[in-house]
């Protein structure tokens, strides 16, 4: 029995072209995201086995790290697909725009900060726009791998995958072109709904 399941894409593989190729979307969803779902389910089974049969604290520690990696990967990719749309792009409006203005200095400043976060990822990771409830602020952050460096209380609203599997087949080493293309497919309605759900 699987606890975690791979969500369907909300659009066809080729729907985000020319900004994101059908080949990347298909591989990224059907192979990479699916692997995190499988990893999360497998790790839960291994943790159950550890509870029944033991295995020591070192194995438990490793399994907990694996669970964090795979569940976070699953969560971020599930969000990432919803954050993009063939009808995306443009600028946010309404309460989201007001928030971005107040907390990050407006759309252009936010976009520059998220772009810098994306371009500054060392190794594998993400750039994210998140709501941080303790300070009641929208913030920009990098996420290392899938599971590290986030303000713990925060809820990601918009995530940009900067792992090489997210862009390399189309953009090769030119990360900046992937980041520029991403802004053309951001689903601001989805981001706005997420913000209103948590703030
Ligand atoms: Mn990915």
Domains of the chain: 21-82 (1.10.287.990), 94-198 (3.55.40.20)
> How close is the Cα of 51 to the center of ligand 1, in Å?
31
How many CB atoms neighbour CB 71 within 10 A?
21
Give the global pTM.
0.96
CA of 91 to the centre of ligand 1 (A): 24
Q: How many CB atoms lie within 10 A of CB 96?
A: 24
Contacts for 152-157: CB closer than 8 Å, 24+ residues apart:
154/130, 155/130, 155/131, 155/194, 155/198, 156/76, 156/79, 156/128, 156/129, 156/130, 157/128, 157/129, 157/130, 157/131, 157/191, 157/194, 157/195
Instruction: Tell me how far the alpha carbon of residue 87 lies from the centroid of ligand 1, in angstroms.
Output: 21
**CA–CA separation, 44 and 183 (whole Å):** 36
How far is the centre of ligand 1, averaged over its atoms, from the C-alpha of 5 (Å)?
Answer: 16
User: What local confidence, expressed as pLDDT, does residue 141 receive?
Assistant: 95
Question: 55 C-alpha vs ligand 1 centroid, how far in Å?
Answer: 31
- The rounded Å distance from CA 52 to ligand 1 centre is 33
Q: Residue-wise pLDDT tens for the chain (199 aa)?
A: 689 999 999 999 999 999 999 999 999 999 999 999 999 999 999 999 999 999 999 999 999 999 999 999 999 999 999 999 999 999 999 999 999 999 999 999 999 999 999 999 999 999 999 999 999 999 999 999 998 887 777 899 999 999 999 999 999 999 999 999 999 999 999 999 999 999 9
Q: 137 with 56: CB under 8 angstroms?
A: no
Residue 96 near residue 129 (C-beta atoms within 8 A): no
């Amino acid at each position: 029995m699987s606890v975690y399941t791979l969500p369907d894409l909300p659009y066809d593989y080729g729907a985000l072209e020319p900004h994101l190729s059908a080949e990347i979307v298909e591989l990224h969803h059907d192979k990479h995201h699916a692997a995190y779902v499988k990893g999360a389910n497998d790790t839960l089974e291994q943790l159950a086995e550890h509870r029944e049969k033991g295995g020591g604290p070192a194995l438990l520690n490793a399994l907990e790290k694996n669970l964090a990696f795979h569940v976070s990967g699953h969560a971020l990719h599930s969000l990432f697909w919803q954050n993009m749309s063939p009808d995306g792009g443009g600028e946010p409006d309404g309460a989201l725009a007001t928030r971005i203005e107040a907390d990050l200095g407006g759309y252009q400043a936010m976009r520059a900060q998220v772009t810098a976060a994306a371009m500054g990822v060392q190794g594998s990771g993400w750039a994210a726009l998140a709501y941080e409830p303790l300070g009641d602020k929208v913030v920009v952050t990098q996420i290392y791998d899938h599971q590290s460096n986030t303000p713990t209380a925060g809820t990601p609203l918009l995530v940009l995958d900067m792992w090489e599997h997210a862009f390399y087949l189309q953009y090769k080493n030119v990360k900046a072109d992937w980041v520029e293309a991403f802004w053309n497919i951001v689903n601001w309605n989805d981001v706005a709904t997420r913000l209103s759900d948590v703030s």
